[in-house]
Amino acid sequence: MENSIVIAKFMGPYIVLIGLGLLFNTKVYMNVMDDCFKNAALVYVMGLLTFVAGLAIVIFHNIWVRDWRVLITLFGWIALIKGVWLVVLPDTAVKITKRFKKDIKLAVIPWVIITGIGVFLIFKGFGA
């Protein structure tokens, strides 16, 4: 449980910061994403960093239980898979980013939910 609390203290604020930034500066974030995916080297480095972060969570927190801690495990697996995806199939990421740019709701709606999960993790991490 202690690992879960420590990871929640890192993940919660990280997720909330990104979520609030996206929600209050949607067009800026869409432009940043568009610029990032125009640079193949940056996509590759982002993929490696995302893979390493996800792998670290999966190695140290691969806990499949019926409580809040499974959220951390899920985020770890999602990051691991996303990292592999960005390294192996970077062109598909470019196509998806273009789709988000056409319909900003595709990016905003999931991030409202994810930001709520981040607030929940902050509560679990710092409220414990």
2-6, 19-23, 26-30: least confident range: 26-30
User: Has residue 22 got a pLDDT over 90?
Assistant: no
Q: How confident is the model at residue 95 (pLDDT cuts 50, 70, 90)?
A: confident
Q: How confident is the model at residue 128 (pLDDT cuts 50, 70, 90)?
A: low
User: For all residues of the chain together, what is the average pLDDT?
Assistant: 89
CB count within 10 Å of CB 40 equals 11
Query: Residue 58 contacts by C-beta under 8 Å, 6 or more apart in sequence?
Result: 73, 76, 77, 80
User: Has residue 106 got a pLDDT over 80?
Assistant: no
Mean pLDDT value across residues 15-25: 92
Please indicate whether residue 38 or residue 81 has the higher confidence score (pLDDT): 81
Structural domain that includes position 119: 2-127
* 66, two tokens: 């019926």
Number of structural domains found in the chain: 1
Give the integer Cα–Cα distance in Å for 57 and 80: 9
Q: What is the pTM of this model?
A: 0.87
Asked whether the CA dihedral 45, 51, 54, 59 is positive or negative, the reply is negative
